[in-house]
Structure 1
Amino acid sequence: MAGIPPPARGWGPRRGLIVRIVLALVVLLAACTSSRPPEVRPATPAYTEEGLASWYGEPYHGRPTASGVTYDMHAMTAAHRTLPFGTWIAVTNLENGRKAEVLVNDRGPFVAGRILDLSQKAAAKLGMLEKGVARVRLAVVRWGDGMMAYPCWEVQVGAFARPENVERAVATLRKSGWTTRTAPAGGGLTRVRVTGLSGRARALEVARGLSADFPGAMAVPCPPAVDEGRP
């Protein structure tokens, strides 16, 4: 047929060899890929929580916190019941969308239904100073390890203003066989605690068991680290 050049001499055999080599490489690569296990990256333990947050300033400014450091109401810090000291958390005010990151270095709040007590500066950044209480979501950014440093733990069931409430709480606990003690707190409050517990794990277990009668029950380190701090 005129106008169509003949195939190059010798190309046919070489082309077949090249095709076979390429196919062999594709099969080998597929086999290696399918036998390779997927990459597994260690995940940071996730923790989120939603609830009410409050804030505290005076008269606690300059006083020791539960972690032993001095409370600075002008720093970005917070009190949480169980998160390890040194943990950084991201807090979102669900009522206005404002966000802040704070360092957990104290214990609290001791009011049922609240999950976080913020420093004055953190509350200002979240736009909740005037209202005082806001619904928030918190998420751990980086875990701390300071919580396990304390060898002695107790369970605080509450901090009461009225003496009759203190007496009632103590009587209820002692009737169930618990050893108790009371200690003065700021603002005219009196703490009531269960003592004689063997470590943090036991304190957490006892706090869960007492939460039906005392919704604010929480595990706290033994004094002196706590008693000079907030209620």
Structure 2
Amino acid sequence: MSGIGNHGAVRRIALTIAMSALFAACSFSRSAQVTSPPPAPGVPQPTPTPQVVGMASWYGPGFHGHKTSDGSVYHQEDLTAASVAFPLGSRVMVTNLDNGRCVEVTITDRGPFLKGRKIDLSHKAARMIGMLDHGTARVRISLISKPAGSREVGAPLRYFVQVGSFSEQRNAEQLRRKLAASYSDVHVDRLDADRRRYYRVRMGAFATRSAAEARASASARFGFPVVIVTE
């Protein structure tokens, strides 16, 4: 096997060790203590897992059945969450720092918008880490995966102008070509939600909401519904 092949195999082993340690650290009782073994000598360590520490809250009945920021319908018994710290579509591990309990959730929505809070968990996710009674808990949120091309964890939010969403890709491409005659940043973004696939025609990203609003106003002449999306 070549040196390049050996290097790739070593990196895969290191990544496996890192993710195994992340899951092993989760527990369902305060008494469980897990000590990670020291890294094998000579094995390059993977990039540290991006983490955010802060307060978590939860949301349930009042929003049940409503659409979320990624286009899916919120169900309080799904393992989902709302956050602005992670890109939509990210999978994260949330650990209650008071009791060590963990749950894996998918970021499908934006929020919470109260100072100091980092994530809003679904009713089921909050129950699994034992925070329903208190309503809030101090947590550690560790990134497991995020969509390709999405912003980095902790990076400023980005704004997109969405001009249409289609179930047929050819319809989205037709609109993209029409808009591309006037704007250079038009693209089709694929989204899988509620077991369906959508093709969203977007312009951007824009660094500020005011810039996105200006583009939305200018592109309204095409006669399509325009929505500003924050990601």
Return the TM-score normalized by structure 2.
0.49
Pair member with larger Rg: 1
Structure showing greater relative contact order (alpha-carbon pairs closer than 8 Å, 6 or more residues apart): 1
